[in-house]
């Protein structure tokens, strides 16, 4: 167990990932606190996706450590990450488009009941009830919980994916381009959801190319470049121009 106290809910310390002779993530240390939104930015190939896959258990690190609530976390698979309270929502959302809202929230973790005392069948009513509970908690409005996912808008689908993570007790929610391909009104709804998650004490990490969205919701901004941490800024003390400078390499590498 790592003895050094950490103020972070989730933290990487000098984490490294190599693919042959290429170092995709090079001694990167970042962290997110409870009730905080951390934006992770960088150009294509900067190492953001690899770093997220290390945190979410898709890849195993070649060096460094990952801590959850100040303790060393041995995350060697996505299942380990889920057990540690780390949920990742990728751009494809991993929803089953032919199933309804409740079925998607319980996807892979379905609830059953017994019929005639011994036949196991899906408990659709219980899953729908629990789905409504978590949607209400996040103040999400979906016309009908019986609607199949393919009939929902992009923002509503994003909301269902977020609700699934919250229902399963996520401590840290990682969101990959959550507002991509959404209209302006739906972007606002998703950003409002991110604020709600922060207010409820979650640590939220957002990967985004939308600078406006970042400054709307982020408390801190971490920028990666060529596999390394190029800099970290408090959003309230920075500007889009400064962040772009860190992304392209024209700003000095510092933390503040």
- Tell me what pLDDT residue 185 has: 86
The CATH number of whichever domain residue 217 belongs to comes to 3.40.50.300
As a whole number of angstroms, the distance between CA 66 and CA 252 comes to 27
Question: Could you give phi then psi for residue 252, rounded to 5 degrees?
Answer: -70, 140
Domains: count for the chain: 1
What's the number of CA atoms in the CB half-sphere (13 Å) around residue 146?
Answer: 1
Token duo for residue 135? 């949607």
Residue 46 lies in a domain: yes
The answer to whether residue 256 scores a pLDDT higher than 60 is no
DSSP string, 201-227: T-EEEEE-S-HHHHHHH-SEEEEEETT
Triad 127, 152, 44: Cα angle to 5°: 105
Closest CA to 87 of 101, 72, 71, 108: 108
- Max CA pair span of the chain: 70
Question: What is the DSSP secondary structure assignment for residue 65, as one 8-state letter?
Answer: E
The answer to whether residue 167 scores a pLDDT higher than 70 is yes
Residue 110 lies in a domain: no
pTM for the complete prediction?
0.87
pLDDT tens track for 22-32: 999 999 999 99
Closest CA to 82 of 164, 193, 181, 187: 164
Q: Write down the mean pLDDT value for the chain.
A: 90
Residue 231 lies in a domain: yes
Assess contact for 64 and 12: CB atoms under 8 A: yes
Residue 195 lies in a domain: yes
Residue 207 lies in a domain: yes
pLDDT tens track for 58-98: 999 999 999 999 999 989 999 999 999 999 998 888 899 99
Q: Which domain holds residue 17?
A: 10-85+171-248
Which of these ranges, 41-45, 111-115, 197-201, has the smallest mean pLDDT? 111-115
Question: What is the DSSP secondary structure assignment for residue 147, as one 8-state letter?
Answer: S
Q: Is 234 helix (H, G, I), strand (E, B) or coil?
A: strand
Where are the strands (E) in 141-214, listed by range?
Answer: 172-176, 203-207
Phi-psi region of 69 (alpha: psi -120 to 50; beta: other; left: phi over 0): left
pLDDT tens track for 88-146: 998 888 899 999 999 999 988 888 888 887 889 988 889 989 999 988 888 888 888 88
Residue 4 lies in a domain: no
Residue 106 lies in a domain: no
As a whole number of angstroms, the distance between CA 61 and CA 45 comes to 18
Residue 81 lies in a domain: yes
As a whole number of angstroms, the distance between CA 120 and CA 122 comes to 7
């Amino acid at each position: 167990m790592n003895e050094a106290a950490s103020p972070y809910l989730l933290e990487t310390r000098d984490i490294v990932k190599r693919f042959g002779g290429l170092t995709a993530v090079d001694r990167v240390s970042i962290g997110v606190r409870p009730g905080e939104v951390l934006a992770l930015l960088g150009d294509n190939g900067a190492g953001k996706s690899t770093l997220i896959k290390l945190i979410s258990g898709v890849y195993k690190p070649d060096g460094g450590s990952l801590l959850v609530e100040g303790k060393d976390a041995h995350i060697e698979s996505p299942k380990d990450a889920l057990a540690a309270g780390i949920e990742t929502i990728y751009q494809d959302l991993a929803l089953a488009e032919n199933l309804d809202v409740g079925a998607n929230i319980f996807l892979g973790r379905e609830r059953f009941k017994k019929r005639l005392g011994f036949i196991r069948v899906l408990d659709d009513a219980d899953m729908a009830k629990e789905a409504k509970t978590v949607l209400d908690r996040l103040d999400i409005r979906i016309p009908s919980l019986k609607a199949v996912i393919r009939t929902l808008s992009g923002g509503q689908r994003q909301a269902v994916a977020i609700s699934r993570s919250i229902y399963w007790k996520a401590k840290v929610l990682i969101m990959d381009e959550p507002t991509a391909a959404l209209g302006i009104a739906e972007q606002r709804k998703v950003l409002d959801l991110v604020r709600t998650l922060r207010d409820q004490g979650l640590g939220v990490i957002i990967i985004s190319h939308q600078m406006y969205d970042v400054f709307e919701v982020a408390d801190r901004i971490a920028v990666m470049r060529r596999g390394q941490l190029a800099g970290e800024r408090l959003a309230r003390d920075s500007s889009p121009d400064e962040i772009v400078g860190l992304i392209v390499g024209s700003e000095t590498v510092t933390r503040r």
